[in-house]
Amino acid sequence: MIEVNNLHKSFVDKKNTVKALDGLSFTAKDGEITGILGPNGAGKTTCLRTLYGLLSADEGYATIDGIKVTENPLAARANLGIFPDKFGLYERLTAYEQIDYFASIHGMTGASKKAAIEQVIKDLDLEDLAHRKTVGFSQGQRMKVTLAQSLVHQPQNFVLDEPTRGLDVMSTRILRNHLAKFKAKGHCILFSSHVMQEVAALCDRVIIVANGKLAAQGTPAELCELAGETHLEEAFVKLIGSDEGVAA
Ligand SMILES: Nc1ncnc2c1ncn2[C@@H]1O[C@H](COP(=O)(O)OP(=O)(O)OP(=O)(O)O)[C@@H](O)[C@H]1O
């Protein structure tokens, strides 16, 4: 389970102060896919970076399975898989070596590490690519390696930042199927998106963020009911009061 509690974060330079998070709170439960939906600049990535421990909040806190990210980052991250917005692969490594590297970072060793790597390679149909260097991999192949490296330690919680950006239909389907399997096993999945169809199709609960605050939350059906609309896109526009930065 992931909990975000009263997060505040401002970015300050000599001329400007940008309030990226302004008291954001929500919970993403186990066995559910939770979507963070919001227009450009709403604070989604800032929120996720705070969860990973890459940014420290000015106020408030985030917990992963009850562990505060700032107090015990290593323990919190042991329960967390991160699928970042950019696929940073080490191109001199093979896919196998890349996954192995991430397994080692998570403290895995020996036969259990080898078994975990082989399992994730099998689950994601990566056998043919496993021993190729990742240089030149297509976007979909890069996505699969990134997915494998973020899931090799079988984290209870899985956070994805705009996961389908730049993916073709097949790769998007592979990713979605994987998320559905993960959810069925009782894991907690949290992802950010501004692709309305994706959120409506995949998410059990939707957190709508605008101006760094929670604008509304609920199932897609509840949000439609709340806004008195039949489509999530219309409900979203009504609930945030703008259609800026929304992708259909
Ligand atoms: N490192 C930074 N320095 C200065 N401002 C920042 C920084 N990171 C984020 N911001 C600002 O904080 C606000 C929230 O940005 P954030 O990236 O969290 O939004 P987002 O909801 O993920 O947007 P998008 O959908 O466009 O990716 C924006 O106004 C952004 O310009």
Does the CB atom of residue 45 touch ligand 1 within 6 A?
yes
Do 63 and 90 belong to one domain? no
CATH of the domain at 200: 3.40.50.300
Do 230 and 178 belong to one domain? yes
Distance of CA 11 from the midpoint of ligand 1 (Å): 9
Q: What is the pLDDT of residue 102?
A: 93
- The tens digit of pLDDT for each residue in 193-221 reads 878 888 888 899 999 999 999 999 999 99
Q: What is the pLDDT of residue 209?
A: 94
Do 199 and 170 belong to one domain? yes
Which residue's CA is the nearest one to ligand 1's atom 5?
A: 11
Domain that holds residue 175: 1-79+156-248
Distance of CA 45 from the midpoint of ligand 1 (Å): 7
- The tens digit of pLDDT for each residue in 79-129 reads 999 987 777 788 899 999 999 999 998 889 999 999 999 999 998 889 999
Do 172 and 101 belong to one domain? no
Distance of CA 46 from the midpoint of ligand 1 (Å): 6
Do 140 and 19 belong to one domain? no
Q: Report the domain count for the chain.
A: 2
Do 145 and 181 belong to one domain? no
Do 46 and 166 belong to one domain? yes
Do 37 and 21 belong to one domain? yes
Q: What is the pLDDT of residue 74?
A: 87
E-strand stretches of the chain: 2-12, 17-28, 33-37, 59-64, 67-68, 80-83, 157-161, 188-193, 205-210, 213-218
Distance of CA 187 from the midpoint of ligand 1 (Å): 28
Do 108 and 137 belong to one domain? yes
Does the CB atom of residue 247 touch ligand 1 within 6 A?
no
Do 200 and 124 belong to one domain? no
Do 173 and 109 belong to one domain? no
Label the pairing between strands 157-161 and 188-193.
parallel
Distance of CA 44 from the midpoint of ligand 1 (Å): 8
Q: Is the ipTM of this complex over 0.85?
A: yes
Do 134 and 226 belong to one domain? no
CB 21 within 8 A of CB 57: yes
Which residue's CA is the nearest one to ligand 1's atom 24?
A: 40
* 105-to-36, 49, 108, 149 alpha-carbon distances in Å: 28, 19, 7, 10
Closest CA to 194 of 218, 164, 215: 164
